[in-house]
Amino acid sequence: MAILSVEGVRQAYQTPVGETVALEDITFSMERGDFCSLVGPSGCGKSTLLSIIAGTLTPTAGRVLVEGQEVTGPNPRIGYMLQQDNLLEWRTVRQNVLFGLEIRHALTPAAVERADRLLETYGLAEFAHSRPSQLSGGMRQRAALIRTLAVGADILLLDEAFSALDYQTRMEVTEDVYRIIRQERVTALMVTHDIPESISMGDRVLILSPRPAVVRRQLPIAFDLPDRSPLRCRSLPAFASYYDTIWKELGMHETDETHGAPLGGAGAVPAAE
């Protein structure tokens, strides 16, 4: 059974000047451990879709299922990773990681042990008693991810999570986050405006149309690499060809819609960095 199914999701926002249809009809599903990238023009409804999957927004029509059960509100199995890591400065790294368990009254010995194991496995044990401000940007994102996993999330939604980081840090963080997601068998759905990032991490890239969004295309991504990593697949010839395909798919919409640059921002420029 699919771990996540999105079935005919439609979202219309009521505004003082009328209705904005963000999502028209979104249908796709993910198996356990899938990594799906989600790209689409700015404002097409990507963040809206993540809010619906996370259960913080009820769709106008359609539904989201987690292992066959309809999502009707926030679910501890679904974690979020955003641009801001939201680490609390007055708490140590370990206290931050335990915070999610604390507010859920789930601070059991087994849960604490698991949190400590995650800190240890992913190189943060020696910073457990440091403050977030003493960590590098990359370590902060890792701590935020571990905090999410510590509460038992096995589905992770990432919304432009790396876009505030400088290039070097972003490369490091994506390697780290990718490794943790794979190793912990997390199912990930990642929104990004960065085409190379979508290819380098995804098993599949979902390409949304301009608003009101539908899934224009689901492009499977496969690299002939025994031990895939986001950085290493970037130098393969297939990478450039995926880039071309996605770029054309998005750029094509520019001609039949009155939109600007397909994705906007520097990430849309071919191999800019």
Residues near ligand ADP (CB under 6 A)? 13, 15, 20, 22, 40, 42-48, 211
Q: Which residue, 60 or 130, has its beta carbon nearer to ligand ADP?
A: 60
Q: Which residue, 10 or 46, has its beta carbon nearer to Mg ion?
A: 46
User: From the CB of 81, what's the least distance to ligand ADP, in Å?
Assistant: 15
Please check whether residue 181 is in contact with residue 35, taking contact to mean a CB–CB distance below 8 angstroms.
yes
- 123 by Cβ neighbours in 10 Å (0-12 / 13-18 / 19+) ranks as exposed
User: From the CB of 46, what's the least distance to Mg ion, in Å?
Assistant: 5
Pairing of strands 69-70, 204-208: unpaired
Q: Which residue, 40 or 132, has its beta carbon nearer to ligand ADP?
A: 40
167 touches, from ligand ADP, Mg ion, none (C-beta below 5 to 8 Å by class): none
User: From the CB of 8, what's the least distance to ligand ADP, in Å?
Assistant: 17
Give the residue from 37, 41, 76 showing the smallest Cα distance to 55: 76
Tokens for 272, please give them: 């800019």
Phi first, then psi: what are they for 119, rounded to 5°?
Answer: -60, -40
22 touches, from ligand ADP, Mg ion, none (C-beta below 5 to 8 Å by class): ligand ADP
Count of Cβ atoms closer than 10 Å to residue 33 Cβ? 15
62 touches, from ligand ADP, Mg ion, none (C-beta below 5 to 8 Å by class): none
| Residues near Mg ion (CB under 5 A) | 47
